[in-house]
Amino acid sequence: MDTPAIIVTVAGLALAGFVLWYFFFSARQTASAVSTSGGVQEVAITVKGGYSPDVIEVERGKPVQLSFYRDEENSCSEELLMPDFSIRRDLPAFKTTLVELLPKEVGTFTFTCGMGMLRGSLVVK
Amino acid sequence: MEPATKTETLDIEGMTCASCASAVEKSLSRTPGVQRAMVNFATEKATVDYLPTQASPATLKEAVINAGYGVMERAPDTSAAERSAEIDRQKAVAYQKLKRRFGVAVGLAVIIMPLSMLMLWPAMMARINMQWLNYALLLLTLPVLGYSGREFYESAWNGFKHRAANMDTLIAVGTGAAFLYSLAATVVPGFFTSRGLMPEVYYDTTATIIALILLGKVLELRAKTQTSAAMRSLIGLQAKTARVVRPDGAEVDVPIEQVQLGDLVVVRPGEKVATDGLITEGSSALDEAMLTGESLPVQKQAGDPVFGATLNKTGSFRFRVTKVGADTMLSQIVKLVEDAQGSRAPIQRLADKVSAIFVPTVVVIAILTFVLWFDLAPAGTRLPLALVNFVAVLIIACPCALGLATPTAIMVSTGKGAEHGVLIRNAEALEKAYQVNTVLLDKTGTITRGEPAVTDFWTLPDQEHNRLLQVVAAVERQSEHPLAEAVVRHAEAQGAASLTATGFRAVEGKGAAATVSGQAVLIGNRRLLADESVNLPPTLIAQAEQLLSQAKTVLYIAVAGQAVGLLGVADTVRDTSATAIKKLQALGIEVVMMTGDNAETAAQVAGQVGITRFFAEVLPADKAGKVKELQAEGRIVAMVGDGINDAPALAQADIGLAIGSGTDVAMEAAGITLMRSDLNGVVTAIELSRQTIRTIKQNLFFAFVYNTLGIPVAAGLLYPFFGILLSPMLAAGAMALSSVSVLTNSLRLRSFDNH
């Protein structure tokens, strides 16, 4: 192995390691729901290449209202899926779409885009 | 002409008592242009009729705020029809944009390709300045990246910021790497030549990949709109207006949103029924195929329910509105289908797990591919080889096929089911129906009609048959007993002329008596005749016993104190039951019947419809137990039933099918609801589930095999053995076709027909 090969190998392995860490193990942006006077837990989520925040904490047994604002036209994010709550919604671009649900059980429930690439989770406590 | 009023509903915030409501109401009523304001404290809603020329939603809101309360901003109109119209409009715009981007990419790629190939023509090359050619290619490629492919880079970057990677990440990194390498080779060729490398450019690769991926997207978008076609046509069924009868008798066309509970609506022949209600006068045949899948029109008269979106065929009638908006049958069907389309099939679990880690994993594989090629290939060609294979791996990987495999099939099939009157609660129900090998039918209301009908009419030899039927019908027409109704239906079906009965008298628990053409007539059970001291001739008793042995109810007829005939009444088998059961058996499913009747009657009905195994004398409470019994034999059981008694059995079964006009309780417990009241729906449900799951399995198989074969080949695994390398352009073609193939396969379900 010559010097360039060694450099490429080391850099490549480091890059691969970074990719794995960055996408799978790094910390996520978490937000807790804010309860209104009516007892509804509200969270605003921006959809742009992902969900921010992408970890949402809510309390069990209280109605939840998620407002998804889709801040892009990219077709990847046009659908929202919350299979545990039987929800499939089209998110129109540059519009807010309200999703209402009632978390009855404690647990972590994933929500994704139509193809399962973009992910977020609803943590019910 | 009086200007049209508009109605606005406001959600009021901050009302703590009923007097707050009246304060809001007062404030609204005083607003100029408001004709009527009503505030409901319990629902926290204000309904305001106003003249749009003088007032507007903004002035109404102001009035509420002036009264010291707030108006909650509602989400932009969420009626299913409007929501879907807005989304359709956006999708159409997006599709046009995508086609333009695709057009630009193709237009430039067809120029870039032949120009790049000039290099392969030495005679030509000698006359052309290499450097100039590369700059020309660079200029041509820039719009392909900056305009056609822009979305990929934006989306990849946005995703990266969220620590999310998607398909666009792969395309962006792949084409980006090829482009940057080419850019370097164009701008600083000396850097390459000084290290013994040809300054090769990959502009053709970059442009072609983007063009092909966009082609895939165009095809995909076109196919995707078709997956929800059934759903859209369902939403489109909703009537836009209703002809409401005002208190003064005037008939006015009003928008459907303004129709209120209790309104009287007129429907003429050929018109759509606006919403759900009960017929108050008139009668007609209605086409309910769009809701139930039943192709024959249904005869309806005063007192019968009608449903919004169904079509009035022959007569005109008026109905009283009982349900509006989200409560109507149509809205509930739409909601159910929508929910089902959002549910997750257990079969999808593995694909979901793979999709979650797919893109980053592929990026890592691509990096390792680059490193290995760089380390192992001959020094002179290692960099271009490493690059080309790196790009090929990124481009060929197709997470979309994996992600689309299950949901598209579920979407098409739940929509298709609704078209056939089969409402599937969720994807899991569909999967369970696929596994079913035993169908348990509750006899009453499922195999049989669940309502009594006259099966036998026997008279003593000296009686005039038709005349007696007329007499009997005359008496029974005045009774409200279900058995009497069966007798009247029978007489009408026979075309018996109607006579008049006088002095009608119902005898509780025994029967009825009246006078027809001057003769006293008695119809009822044996006790009624005994009470009136009517003697029964032996032939009549013998006949009665024979009917009783067939589990039929016997009605005795006496005219002028003489017993003259008998009527046998029983629940009858539906015309469709025997063929539907045969179809189920042909699908390899064992059909089992259960009933509360005695073994003899059960055997008779079972024999009539071709069932060999049955449970007789089952008490309502034991129905769920019978399901368990079958499950204990290792069977996957589908329970078909209606009514409240069946709910526990429907829930106990692996999959419950609630048959038409079933109560809400049964629908709750059932995974599948059949809108049509016959067993053909069971056949449809099972055939549809089998085709759907088969399609999903094909899709998943294809998606997994495509990726597990494609990625190693693109990485160059075949090169050491066969010298085969996959060009990134071919990889792009394969990728574009893979997701389209999955979609097309799912769309094949649209041709599902169970006949």
Q: Which of residues 20-49 of A touch B (CB under 8 A)?
A: 20, 22-24, 26, 28, 48-49
Helices (H), B479-537: 482-493, 526-531
pTM for this predicted structure: 0.78
Q: What is the mean pLDDT of chain B?
A: 85
User: Which residues are CB-contacts of B733 (< 8 A; sequence separation ≥ 6)?
Assistant: B212
Contact B305/B328 with Cβ under 8 angstroms? Answer: no
Residues B367, A19: C-beta atoms closer than 8 Å: yes
| Tens digit of each residue's pLDDT (9 = 90 or more) over B5-48 | 777 777 777 676 666 777 788 888 888 888 878 777 655 777 78
Residues A19, B343: C-beta atoms closer than 8 Å: no
Burial code (b: 16+ CB inside 10 Å, e: under 16) for A56-79 equals: bbbeeeeebbbebebbbbbbbbbb
Q: How confident is the model at residue A118 (pLDDT cuts 50, 70, 90)?
A: confident
The answer on pLDDT for B317 being more than 50 is yes
Terminal CA-to-CA distance of chain B, rounded, Å? Answer: 56
Q: How confident is the model at residue B1 (pLDDT cuts 50, 70, 90)?
A: very low
Catalytic annotation present for B571: no
**What number of other Cβ atoms are within 10 A of residue B409's Cβ?**
33
B164: which chain A residues are within 8 Å (Cβ-Cβ)?
23, 49-50, 54, 117-119
B638 touching A (Cβ < 8 Å):
no
Which amino acid appears at position A51 of this protein? Y
Query: Beta strand B70-72 with A107-113: parallel, antiparallel or unpaired?
Result: unpaired
Q: Which of residues 65-94 of A touch B (CB under 8 A)?
A: 67, 72-76, 78, 81-90, 92-93
Residue B49 CB burial class (10 angstroms; 0-12, 13-18, ≥19): middle
| Tens digit of each residue's pLDDT (9 = 90 or more) over A36-60 | 666 788 888 888 888 888 888 888 8
Q: Is this prediction's ipTM beyond 0.90?
A: no
Q: How confident is the model at residue B75 (pLDDT cuts 50, 70, 90)?
A: very low
The secondary element (H helix, E strand) that includes residue A52 is: strand A51-52
Who wins on pLDDT, A105 or B669?
A: A105
Q: What is the CA radius of gyration of chain B?
A: 37
Residues B94, A117: C-beta atoms closer than 8 Å: no
Contact B433/B685 with Cβ under 8 angstroms? Answer: yes
User: Which residues are CB-contacts of B534 (< 8 A; sequence separation ≥ 6)?
Assistant: B522, B558, B561, B562, B563
The answer on pLDDT for A30 being more than 80 is no
The pair phi, psi for residue B126, each rounded to 5°, is -60, -30
Q: What share of chain A is helix, strand, coil (3-state, %, to 5)?
A: 25, 40, 35
Task: Copy the structure tokens of residue B344.
Answer: 């997750």
Q: How confident is the model at residue B701 (pLDDT cuts 50, 70, 90)?
A: very high
The predicted structure's pLDDT at residue B273:
92
Which candidate in B263, B442, B571, B678 is catalytic? B442
In chain B, % of residues over pLDDT 90 = 28
What single DSSP character describes residue A75?
G
B166: which chain A residues are within 8 Å (Cβ-Cβ)?
49, 76, 113, 115, 117-118
The answer on pLDDT for B662 being more than 60 is no
Number of Cβ pairs closer than 8 Å across A and B?
154
The answer on pLDDT for B636 being more than 90 is yes
The predicted structure's pLDDT at residue B73:
61
Candidate from A5, A49, A81 with C-beta closest to B342: A81
Region B64-90: what's the mean pLDDT?
68
**Residue carrying structure tokens 């996520």:** A28
Helices (H), B39-188: 57-66, 80-117, 122-125, 130-143, 150-161, 167-187
B90 touching A (Cβ < 8 Å):
yes
Residues A82, B342: C-beta atoms closer than 8 Å: yes
A117: which chain B residues are within 8 Å (Cβ-Cβ)?
159, 164-167, 355, 358-359, 399, 403
Region B486-501: what's the mean pLDDT?
83
Which of B291, B92, B110 lies closest to B204, judged by CA? Answer: B110
Contact B321/B277 with Cβ under 8 angstroms? Answer: yes
CA nearest to B739 within chain A: A115
